[in-house]
């Protein structure tokens, strides 16, 4: 940008910074706010080294709207799982059908971030105890995810099949012996797969892998309500399982989807106060 628009400039000027802070045609508020801090830090660095630079002030762009995810129904999840079971392997990913079949189930059943699943190392998967060690996840935090019996059995079966395809692999979901599956490959393959299914997004936008994490948290809440569990007691367990420091972070993932909420939770004619006790309002 500087070479094209400010070829004679030798300082980080106001005009350069303002040009860089201009929203691009395909850019959301959130995206532009993610890249502006870099030019501010670059300006501070230049000043510390004795150069002249303009520091772009904060608040130039208003924050973006909160993303509203699609909460998958059980029927939609079954459709996606069956489609992933029938994916055709490729030369680059000869085990694609095996990987997608297990990976899609793990994302929903454990509420993991896609990056956490892809970064799983074989040494961090204990198929005897039924635990996954999530290392250096968001916020540089480690945690242990405990698997249910059926998910553990699925992981054992997957591991046997992968050992036949890629012996001595480093990553649980591996492209080859040394490399994990690529996140872009996973996202593109997921998009192509769901495009063949008759699933209408409730948000009017494309379906995302990350929405399975939102769906996991929401479905778990519904199930606890149906089982008559005390939500104020149970929510800290969900928060820890998902790797959150505060319960308020977990609230971001819970969505009361109309229709699905009533049918899955068994909830009828109750006030919001009956669902979330007042004590939950304060993150103590």
Query: Which residue, chain included where needed, has tokens 């959150």?
Result: 244
Confidence of residue 186 (pLDDT cuts 50, 70, 90): very high
Distance CA 133, CA 118 (A): 12
Residues 6 or more apart whose Cβ sits within 8 Å of residue 181: 93, 99, 103, 118, 171, 173, 174, 175
Domain boundary among 195, 227, 245: 195
Q: Is residue 206 domain-resident?
A: no
DSSP structural state of residue 110? H
Rounded to two decimals, the pTM is 0.69
For all residues of the chain together, what is the average pLDDT? 85
Tell me: do 22 and 86 sit in the same domain. Answer: no
Residues 6 or more apart whose Cβ sits within 8 Å of residue 43: 12, 17, 53, 54, 55, 56
Measured torsion, CA atoms of residues 174, 179, 185, 186, in degrees rounded to the nearest 10: 40
- Rounded to 5 degrees, φ, ψ at 174 are -105, 145
20-24, 71-75, 79-83: least confidently modelled range: 20-24
Tell me: do 80 and 175 sit in the same domain. Answer: yes
Tell me: do 144 and 96 sit in the same domain. Answer: yes
Tell me: do 190 and 216 sit in the same domain. Answer: no
- Within the chain, residue ranges assigned H as helices are 2-5, 14-20, 29-48, 74-85, 96-110, 114-118, 149-165, 183-195, 211-227, 231-241, 247-251, 260-265, 272-275
Q: Is residue 249 domain-resident?
A: yes
Q: Of the candidates 172, 148, 170, 169, which has an alpha carbon nearest to the alpha carbon of residue 98?
A: 172
Tell me: do 25 and 136 sit in the same domain. Answer: no
Tell me: do 187 and 85 sit in the same domain. Answer: yes
CB 71 within 8 A of CB 211: yes
Check whether 133 has a pLDDT greater than 90.
yes
Tell me: do 80 and 158 sit in the same domain. Answer: yes
Containing domain of residue 218, as a range? 212-281
Q: Length of the chain in residues, anyone?
A: 284
Domain count for the chain: 3
Q: Is residue 168 domain-resident?
A: yes
Q: What is the predicted pLDDT for the residue at 258?
A: 55
Residues 6 or more apart whose Cβ sits within 8 Å of residue 119: 134, 135, 136, 137, 171, 180
DSSP structural state of residue 17? H
Check whether 72 has a pLDDT greater than 70.
yes
pLDDT in tens, 195-240: 899 888 877 777 889 999 999 999 998 889 888 888 889 999 999 9
Tell me: do 25 and 107 sit in the same domain. Answer: no
Using the Cα atoms of residue 101, residue 251, residue 255 and residue 222 in order, give the sign of their dihedral: positive
On the 0-12 / 13-18 / 19+ scale of CB atoms within 10 A, 78 is exposed
Q: Is residue 66 domain-resident?
A: no
CB 217 within 8 A of CB 242: yes
Q: Is residue 205 domain-resident?
A: no
Tell me: do 264 and 187 sit in the same domain. Answer: no
Check whether 166 has a pLDDT greater than 80.
yes
Domain boundary among 48, 65, 84: 48
DSSP structural state of residue 245? S
Q: Is residue 53 domain-resident?
A: no
Q: Is residue 207 domain-resident?
A: no
Q: pLDDT exceeding 90 applies to what percent of the chain?
A: 51
pLDDT in tens, 14-57: 889 888 888 776 667 777 888 888 999 999 999 999 999 999 88
Mean pLDDT of 68-90: 92
Q: What is the predicted pLDDT for the residue at 263?
A: 54
Encoding tokens for residue 276?
Answer: 């979330």
CB 116 within 8 A of CB 137: yes
- Chain centroid, CA 164 distance in Å: 29
Write the CATH number for 102. 1.10.443.10
Tell me: do 221 and 186 sit in the same domain. Answer: no
Q: Is residue 67 domain-resident?
A: no
Tell me: do 142 and 96 sit in the same domain. Answer: yes
């Amino acid at each position: 940008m500087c070479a094209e628009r400010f070829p004679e400039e030798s300082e980080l000027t106001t005009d350069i910074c303002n040009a860089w802070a201009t929203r691009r045609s395909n850019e959301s508020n959130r995206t532009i706010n993610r890249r502006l801090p870099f030019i501010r830090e670059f300006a501070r660095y230049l000043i510390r080294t004795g150069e002249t630079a303009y520091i772009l002030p904060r608040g130039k762009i208003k924050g973006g709207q909160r993303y509203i995810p699609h909460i998958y129904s059980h029927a939609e999840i079954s459709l996606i799982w069956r489609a992933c079971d029938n994916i055709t392997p490729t030369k680059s990913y000869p085990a694609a059908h095996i990987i997608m079949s297990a990976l899609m189930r793990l994302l929903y059943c454990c509420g993991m971030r896609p990056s956490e699943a892809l970064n799983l190392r074989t040494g961090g998967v204990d198929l005897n105890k039924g635990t996954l060690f999530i290392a250096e996840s968001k916020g540089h935090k480690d945690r242990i995810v405990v698997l249910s019996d059926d998910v553990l059995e699925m992981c054992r079966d997957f591991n046997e099949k992968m050992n036949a395809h890629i012996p001595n692999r480093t990553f649980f979901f591996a492209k080859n012996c040394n490399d994990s599956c690529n996140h872009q490959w996973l996202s593109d393959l997921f998009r192509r797969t769901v495009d063949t299914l008759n699933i209408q997004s409730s948000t009017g936008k494309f379906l995302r892998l990350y929405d399975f994490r939102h769906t996991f948290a929401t479905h778990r809440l519904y199930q606890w309500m149906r089982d008559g569990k005390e939500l104020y007691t149970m929510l800290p367990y969900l928060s820890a399982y998902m790797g959150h420091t505060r319960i308020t972070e977990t609230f971001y993932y819970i969505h009361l989807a109309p229709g699905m909420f009533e049918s899955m939770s068994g909830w009828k004619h109750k006030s919001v106060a009956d669902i979330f006790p007042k004590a939950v309002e304060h993150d103590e």
